[in-house]
Structure 1
Amino acid sequence: MWTQEYVPLGNLALSALAASIPIIVIFYLLAIRRAPGQVAGISALAAAFLVAVLVYKMPFTTTLMAALMGIAYGIFPIFWIVITAIFIYNMTVETGKFEIIKNSIATITDDRRLQALLIAFAFGAFLEGAAGFGTPVAISAGMLVGLGFNPLYAAGLCLIANTAPVAFGGIGIPIIVAGQVTGLDTMKISQMVGRQLPFISVFIPFWLIMLMAGWKATMEVLPACLIAGVSFAVLQFFSSNYLGPELPDILSSLACILALTFFLKSWKPVSVWRFPGEQGNKTAAATLPTYSGRELITAWSPFIILTVMVILWGLKPVKALIEAPTLSIYVPGLHNMVTQVAPIAKTPVAMAAAYKLNWLSAAGTALFIASIFSAMILGVGPGRFFSILGKTFKQLTKPLITIPAVLGLAYIMNYSGMSSSLGLFLAGTGSFFPFFSAWLGWLGVFLTGSDTSANALFGNLQAVTAQQVGVDPILTVAANSSGGVTGKMISPQSIAVATAATGLVGKEGDLFSFTVMHSLALAVIVGVMTYLQAYILAWMIP
């Protein structure tokens, strides 16, 4: 047994500085050196290993097993989601059906600004709510590239758009986990997040279009931005406050998709906006081929089947059935070998280390089954099916290094207590803690790539610290989730998924630089909002 030590250098600030070395390494390599993702990931993993062993005195074998457990999770289920999502997209391209999809979207709108709202914001939010864990960025970014978007913008826009739904992603799992680790009422956490995120959600469509096209072009589509943001935010508030954490994303995104589609049938911007350098100023709807209903349904069938499978996999009765064959493999040399102590844990507790091989219930499996049905409808035989799958795997060899390396880094930082040192340092800010509670969530999602994991990592610390500074713990635990969403767009795991989906492998540094300032600005906004709710707008706390 090895007990975590959160102040190994005898001073919390110095210990937190040591714990931040892997983060500094990955920030430096991605943002300044623009290094490929696999180089940054492996370098940060090595730095975390050395700090854990040399500074935190974590046993070598225990550190190694923590890294291997993270690497295993990076391969399955995370990489499994990425490869199956991009495989479905590649199949539609190889069969020529994506041209039909592209033209059918252009009949709704051939304006890049409005296409970004429909796919990056609305459809991406739907996928986040139904599956989460990288699925929305992998699919929606790939679709935008297929439509003709600049790959960097496609990836960056999908990452930023994904801010709005992340806290309720994967059928509300982040909020449910926050309730489990803190012992607080899950419904109250859901309500509090639902009184924070809608303010961000209503603003994200404007943010996206401003980033794409500038102020003047944003004002041209102001009505569409309002329709998208308000329809999403209103349903997000209502469902999170009155129905629970499971449905906000699905209901909000469906409302947004329907509202935008109906609105765009009767309203058009004064001019069609395209990226500088694109061929032609606009694509007139009259010049597009016309398709029969059967052709349209066939072309869209992979994404329709994907949507149905993802929803099916999230239903409680189905989930109970497909979770049954899950294998729990206790990691030797790590399971119950690390003890968490106060203030991270209420009482000393041995950290479990069970690798769950949920081969059937994983979202990637739902996508793979969807790919089989899609192949049957698209007329893709077994030989061609495996040929496209092989090409997809070859396309993703570098992300197969990057994603596991990043997960290995996250698991070392969690089991060694390095993440906890950083958390305790932020928790020592006294009455300013409500502001920094959002940054704690940001840090957790940056490290793990998951709002769920960030809530598991820092949820209890948020609750304990809030009580110490005299703030309602419901607020700070909710802020962990709301602030966490702002870190998703720069999480190395998310960056790796986005670059894999858009053909930007090796350009992870460029994408990181594209999103980092937006991440920091949104984190400040959530932090200020949380501070105001703690001391001035306390009536908003349920």
Structure 2
Amino acid sequence: MTTAPPAVLAAFTPDVAAVGDSLAATALLGVVPLAAFFLLLMAAKRSALQSALGALLVALLVAVFGYGMPVRLGVLSATQGAVFGLFPVMLIVVAAIWFYELTVISKRFEDLRRSFSAVGRGDLRIQAMLIAFCFGGLLEALAGFGAPVAITAAMLMALGLPKLKSAVTVLLANTAPVAFGAMAIPITTAGNLTGIPAEDVAAVIGRQSPLLALFVPLLLLFVVDGRRGVRQLWPIALVTGFVFALAQFWCASHFAYELTDVVASLAGFAAAVLMLRFWVPKTPDDQRSQVDPEPLTPRRVTLAVLPYVLVIAIFGLAKLNVGGLDMPTLLGKLTLELDWPGLYGNLLAADGSPSGSAVYKLEVLGNPGTLLIISGLLVMLVYGLAGDTDRYPMTARAGLAAAGRTVKNMRTAIATVATVLALGYVMNQSGQTVAIGTWLAAVGGLFALFSPILGWLGTAVTGSDTSANALFATLQQTAGQGAGIDPTLLVAANTSGGVVGKMVSPQNLTIAATAVEQPGSERVLLGRVAGYSVGMLAVLCVLVYLQSLPVLSWMLP
């Protein structure tokens, strides 16, 4: 008797009708890990890491006993997802936060903060709008993970804005930048999981998110000073929002999508500064801010902004393709490509060929994390050579210590993201996500109307647009393919939906409440921002649905 090779015995092909030859039953079983995650997080009030670990265990049990996936392949799938969660996902996030920390420990960040606070001709409302929207967007681009809410809320409170109003303002402002936050890691994650080029997903989001950004500054004025604020200051709000939205659209489609929030935030702020040279706001006495007794010198402002100019230059150089110089191809030559041991060749596609999802790739030099590390080293060098070390301390030892401290402080977040990605990979490679997506595709073109809701739900619960994409991006892709809708549109819609879910996430509400010294006020804050979140979500749902039809399909790239 001939025994088949071990690889054949271990081979597995996902089946969307694995449970009783029924698509509906198979899809409903596939929902169980997601339900377990949300129930553990919300009902049992477990931490995100504990919830993700519990859901991962459930997903493995469903994969093995429900879908017939060999135990060994299920475990290997989880390990591939976890490694992807570490490299490149958390590499990029940690590098971005380290880059931000360099500006803090050098004390140049304080000059940048004061630069934002000094603008506005003494009008508290304009300063609040620029700090929450532009400065908050800049922080979201680099730090993310609640840092923009915490820092800008404290700044608004220091300007004299009431505590709860400060919190509501920054929660509302922390919407438009989220899709491109932490060097656009939600988009990079979605692209890697679905196989759709991240640049294509970013370009579509660049036709969705900017429409929200256009009007957010007006909403901020309304929150800060009601109708009077909107009536008196609408010109600068529209200019700031328009330039931010235009820069977001351009950068997402034609430059380095990872830098979208950096470019948009600086462009919006610069437009406001330029406008205030020619336009004088009508400022009531009760909305005047205090003048900083120590004016900033041009040199200090330049050095404060320099890190962001450097990072734009480094990323721009990495995307350069002029004449015989093709930097993306050159950097891409050093790419780690690995057929995941034990998984590749045993995880099969429907036609019996090895599944491409079992191939792990990491672009070593062109990776945004690597580019951020290079940018950070340059910042350390420039700040070290700039002198004035008594006031602005910057040494190689301090910079490296900041890197170690960043990794240590983020160890829980690193473990959480790695576990969520492991969950996503198990669900994807066992066929759970495909079954759910195929089942949902039965609603046809109407699915586009509800597509952003999944992203909103994922971000509202987890507090992370990256996690929402890890959970639902492949599902959106499968549903789009089955319903005859452009999958890129739906994956982008999942990310854009997460943008407006961030403000109602328990994580962000707690950060905001703590930052304004009002612990326990999360329920009050939720009541004040929920309407804005649901209203923006409704706008996105209609927009995505119309973009899936000839009505607005011309908007898509």
TM-score between the two structures when normalised by the length of structure 2: 0.73
Deviation for aligned residue 1:68 = 0.9
Match of 1:422 in 2: 436
Q: 1 or 2 for the larger relative contact order (CA 8 Å, sep ≥6)?
A: 1
Match of 2:37 in 1: 26
> What is the CA–CA distance in structure 1 between the aligned matches of 2:108 and 2:256, rounded to whole Å?
36
Amino acid of the residue matched to residue 55 of structure 1? Answer: G
> What is the CA–CA distance in structure 1 between the aligned matches of 2:107 and 2:225, rounded to whole Å?
30
The answer as to 2:374 corresponding to 1:363 is no
Task: Rate the CA distance shift 1:66–1:193 in 2: closer, same or farther, 3 A.
Answer: same
Pick from 319, 330, 342: which aligns with 1:321? 330
> What is the CA–CA distance in structure 2 between the aligned matches of 1:248 and 1:398, rounded to whole Å?
26
> What is the CA–CA distance in structure 2 between the aligned matches of 1:78 and 1:172, rounded to whole Å?
10
Match of 1:6 in 2: 16
* 1:235–1:252 CA contact under 8 A, matched in 2: yes
> What is the CA–CA distance in structure 2 between the aligned matches of 1:300 and 1:270, rounded to whole Å?
28
Match of 1:278 in 2: none
Task: Rate the CA distance shift 1:325–1:206 in 2: closer, same or farther, 3 A.
Answer: same
After TM superposition, list the pairs within 5 Å mapping 1:295-334 onto structure 2.
295-316=300-321, 317-334=326-343
Write the deviation string for residues 482-511 of structure 1: whole angstroms up to 9, x where unpaired: 3432125658xx99999999999xx9xx79
Deviation for aligned residue 1:404 = 0.8
Amino acid of the residue matched to residue 447 of structure 2? Answer: F
Pick from 148, 162, 172: which aligns with 2:177? 162
Match of 1:469 in 2: none
Match of 1:144 in 2: 152
Match of 1:288 in 2: 293
Match of 1:202 in 2: 214
> What is the CA–CA distance in structure 1 between the aligned matches of 2:97 and 2:258, rounded to whole Å?
26
> What is the CA–CA distance in structure 1 between the aligned matches of 2:89 and 2:177, rounded to whole Å?
17
> What is the CA–CA distance in structure 2 between the aligned matches of 1:429 and 1:417, rounded to whole Å?
20
Pick from 120, 135, 142: which aligns with 2:136? 120
The percentage of counterpart residues that share the same residue type is 23
Deviation for aligned residue 1:38 = 2.1
TM-score between the two structures when normalised by the length of structure 1: 0.74
3-state SS of paired residue (2:113): helix
Match of 1:270 in 2: 283
Match of 2:540 in 1: 526
Task: Rate the CA distance shift 1:4–1:155 in 2: closer, same or farther, 3 A.
Answer: farther
The answer as to 2:537 corresponding to 1:537 is no
After TM superposition, list the pairs within 5 Å mapping 1:425-440 onto structure 2.
425-430=439-444, 432-439=446-453
Unpaired segments of 5 or more residues in structure 1?
128-133, 274-280, 467-472
> What is the CA–CA distance in structure 2 between the aligned matches of 1:448 and 1:228, rounded to whole Å?
27
> What is the CA–CA distance in structure 2 between the aligned matches of 1:340 and 1:209, rounded to whole Å?
53
The alignment of Structure 1 onto Structure 2 pairs a total of residues equal to 504
> What is the CA–CA distance in structure 1 between the aligned matches of 2:417 and 2:70, rounded to whole Å?
25
* 1:436–1:527 CA contact under 8 A, matched in 2: yes
> What is the CA–CA distance in structure 1 between the aligned matches of 2:506 and 2:317, rounded to whole Å?
28
Amino acid of the residue matched to residue 177 of structure 2? Answer: N
Deviation for aligned residue 1:2 = 0.7
Match of 1:57 in 2: 68
> What is the CA–CA distance in structure 2 between the aligned matches of 1:71 and 1:36, rounded to whole Å?
18
**Structure with greater Cα Rg:** 2
Pick from 414, 418, 427: which aligns with 1:404? 418
> What is the CA–CA distance in structure 2 between the aligned matches of 1:115 and 1:249, rounded to whole Å?
18
Task: Rate the CA distance shift 1:240–1:16 in 2: closer, same or farther, 3 A.
Answer: same
> What is the CA–CA distance in structure 2 between the aligned matches of 1:147 and 1:249, rounded to whole Å?
24
3-state SS of paired residue (1:339): coil
Deviation for aligned residue 1:19 = 1.8
> What is the CA–CA distance in structure 2 between the aligned matches of 1:67 and 1:178, rounded to whole Å?
13
Task: Rate the CA distance shift 1:118–1:196 in 2: closer, same or farther, 3 A.
Answer: closer
* 1:231–1:256 CA contact under 8 A, matched in 2: yes
Write the deviation string for residues 88-131 of structure 1: whole angstroms up to 9, x where unpaired: 3223222322222211111114632321121234x468x4xxxx
3-state SS of paired residue (2:361): strand
The answer as to 2:397 corresponding to 1:387 is no
Amino acid of the residue matched to residue 203 of structure 1? Answer: F
Task: Rate the CA distance shift 1:409–1:53 in 2: closer, same or farther, 3 A.
Answer: same
Write the deviation string for residues 179-201 of structure 1: whole angstroms up to 9, x where unpaired: 9759xxx99x9987666555434
Match of 1:459 in 2: 477
Q: CA RMSD in A?
A: 4.8
Match of 1:130 in 2: none
Unpaired segments of 5 or more residues in structure 2?
1-10, 158-162, 385-393
* 2:204–2:492 CA contact under 8 A, matched in 1: no
Amino acid of the residue matched to residue 113 of structure 1? Answer: M
* 1:66–1:334 CA contact under 8 A, matched in 2: yes
The answer as to 2:108 corresponding to 1:97 is yes
> What is the CA–CA distance in structure 2 between the aligned matches of 1:378 and 1:138, rounded to whole Å?
27
